[in-house]
Structure formats: structure tokens, C-alpha cells
Amino acid sequence: MKKHNFSAGPSILAREVIEKTAQAVLDFNNSGLSILEISHRSKDFEAVIAEARELFIELLNIPQGYSVLFLGGGASMQFCMIPFNFFEKKAAYLNTGVWANKAMKEAKGFGETVEVASSKDANYTFIPKDYTIPTDADYFHITTNNTIYGTEILKDIDSPIPLIADMSSDIFSRPMDVSKYALIYGGAQKNLAPAGLAFVIVKDELLGKVSRYIPTMLNYKTHIAEGSMFNTPPVLPIYSALETLKWVKANGGLVEMEKKNIAKAELLYNAIDNSKMFVGTAEKEDRSRMNVCFVMKPEYKELEADFLKFATAAGMDGIKGHRSVGGYRASIYNAMPIESVQALVDCMHEFENQH
């Protein structure tokens, strides 16, 4: 039976990325050695990380004056690296979910941290609007896609102060204007690579402005100077990221990724909106293209566990919703084919017909 991987992360990768990574584990670049055992200082791996950096720049159209870094520690490490490097007097955060809240918590340890707006009282079912970004803050931090609650900021914000964005789960899902951001970061295990890697895109001229001592490993300038090789980088995830970037380019780049992501999201949201049994949890204008969250309508609540069993038996893997929301969550990242989304829709229809 075919499995359809709707897991939120670590999540689906393109099949050819998995196959090429598996081959590299056995024999990397016809070297007779595994990617797991080669030196990160070898010419073969230096070529991998250089090409991955070049494809980041090409696919995202990153302007000059920005550095691309590949680091360990995941996005959660960035929650403290950002204030270490950018926080001087005050920081501003938009609170749109669990990860935004965790990022803000780290900043509070550095000084005055302003919550510009929050949708917490509504269980993060929408993206706050009509807020004012404080111009006296050192930076404004947003989380563009909220995996747990299924909301997403789909346009690049105009900010009067340096804009920093956690794009862990929607990077490479649409064209974007990198020049509007001071820093973009994320964990790679949603839309790019296996777990263990964080990417950072940072505007060089904004670094070195804080008066505090920054621990060497937490200083972005350290990693820029060493080309992400200050310490041993996560070699295998970087290789997989390179193969994913090649796959994105070969499949039409970000314009084509966005087109396919819109089609997949519309297919599933239409099924939810026209259902007698299911209902979406996020406000329609803020719905995520990456993570579709939905629940049973109150009159069918007793069937919630039954549908999960039914869908799992039909090959739908990873659709159980986060414990803070309940219900179901279908993560439909770049590598998710529309055929799998259709299979989930068919599964929903079949269950409805049986009840």
C-alpha cells in the first residue's frame, strides 16, 4: 500500500532526493567513501556546500551584501543567536504561535521585548493585522508560517526597522523579496532537508553593531568568515539540501513551486469547506499553504478517532493534529505531490459517505 507522508517535520522529501542521498551514503561522488565519513574539509564536500550556497542565491534571488550560512542547532538555536547579534536596546515580536512565542522568550533575556500583536487569545487562528511596528526597536521578528495552527504570512512585510523572519516551514515555497529582510532563518526539516541543519540568510552590514560580547559560536561573523566551516557542519543534511535545491530548480523554481502549492492547498481547503463533517481551524484569509489544519464539526466529534484510524489504514501518515489544536493536520510541503492530496480528499469523502 502506498504511504502518503503528511508529517509536519521531519517531513516529506522528493523521492529522487532520498535516492541520491542514499546513494551518497553508500558511495559519495564515486569516491569509494560514504558521505557519512568524508572530511568536511575535502574538496568534494567544499564543492557541495558552495553549490548549495549558490543555489540559495539563485533561487531566492538574494542580492549582494547578504551571506548564506549552514549551521547546526536548528531554528531553536537561532532564537538566542538573533538577540545576541541584533539586540542592543529593544526588540519587537509578532506572536503568531508556539515557535514565535519561544523566540520571543529568548529575546526577553536580553532586555525590553515588545509583543507588537498576538492572536493567542483566539488560539492563534489568525495573523494579527493593523499593528504598529515600534521604530525605536532594534528589529522586528515574525514567523511566516505557523505549522501547529495552519496560518501563514504570504506577503513580504514592509518594516521601518530590520525585519527578521523564521521561515522554517515555507522557505522555497514562493518567490519572495529577500531585500526586505535583515535576516531569514529556519530549520531545514520541513521543506529542505533532514533534521540537523539550520539555514541563515543575513545582511552583512547589520552585523557587528551590538556592544555586548558575543560567544564565538553564536556570532554570525564567525561563521561568515569561515564559510560555515568554523566547526564541523551537518554534512549529510547539507548534501540533502543541495539535492532538494537542484530538484526545485529542475521543477521550475519558486514560481512553479508556488503554483503547485496553491493548487494543492485549494484542493484540500475546498474539500474541507464543502464537507458536512470537517471544518478548518484557521481564518480563511490567513490559511497556510503548507499546513492544513481541520477538525470534526461538533455534531461528528465522536468520530474523530475513527477517521484517524480510517485514514491511517488507507495510507495517510502523520495527519494527527498537534495536541494543542487537536483534530488533523495535513502538511503539504513542496515535495508533496497533488496525487497524495487527492488521495486524502478521496479518503475524507469515503468516510463521509460511510457515516
Is the pLDDT at 311 greater than 90, yes or no? yes
Tell me, yes or no, whether 299 and 203 share the same domain: no
- Whole-number average pLDDT of the chain: 97
CATH of the domain at 37: 3.40.640.10
Q: Which of 198, 225, 250 is the last residue of a domain?
A: 250
Tell me, yes or no, whether 61 and 78 share the same domain: yes
Which region among 18-27, 92-101, 320-329 has the lowest average model confidence (pLDDT)?
A: 320-329
Residue 323 confidence (pLDDT): 86
Tell me, yes or no, whether 115 and 258 share the same domain: no
The reply to whether 105 belongs to the active site is: no
Tell me, yes or no, whether 78 and 212 share the same domain: yes
Residue 129 confidence (pLDDT): 95
Residue 324 confidence (pLDDT): 82
**Mean pLDDT (whole number) for 246-272:** 98
| Assessment of whether the complete model's pTM goes beyond 0.95 | yes
For residue 325, name the pLDDT band (cuts at 50, 70, 90).
Answer: confident
State how far the Cα of 268 lies from the Cα of 4, in Å rounded to an integer: 14
Tell me, yes or no, whether 175 and 65 share the same domain: yes
CATH of the domain at 287: 3.90.1150.10
Tell me, yes or no, whether 172 and 294 share the same domain: no
Residue 90 vs residues 48, 109, 219, 255, 301: alpha-carbon distances, Å: 39, 11, 19, 37, 45
Peptide bond into 10 cis (omega under 30): yes
Tell me, yes or no, whether 121 and 181 share the same domain: yes
Domain with 159, as residue range(s), is: 15-250
Count how many domains the chain has. 2
Tell me, yes or no, whether 280 and 135 share the same domain: no
Selected residue with higher pLDDT from 342 and 325: 342
Residue 231 confidence (pLDDT): 95
The reply to whether 166 belongs to the active site is: yes
Q: Which of 250, 279, 296 is the last residue of a domain?
A: 250
Is the pLDDT at 269 greater than 90, yes or no? yes
Tell me, yes or no, whether 279 and 216 share the same domain: no
Question: Which one of 20, 138, 166, 286 is the catalytic residue?
Answer: 166
Question: Which one of 138, 170, 190, 203 is the catalytic residue?
Answer: 190
Q: Which of 189, 220, 250 is the last residue of a domain?
A: 250
Tell me, yes or no, whether 191 and 306 share the same domain: no
Tell me, yes or no, whether 268 and 133 share the same domain: no
The reply to whether 247 belongs to the active site is: no
Tell me, yes or no, whether 244 and 305 share the same domain: no
Task: Report pLDDT digits (tens) over 144-166.
Answer: 999 999 999 999 999 999 999 99
Task: Report pLDDT digits (tens) over 134-147.
Answer: 999 999 999 999 99
For residue 145 the three cell numbers come to: 508560517
Question: Which one of 20, 99, 203, 286 is the catalytic residue?
Answer: 99
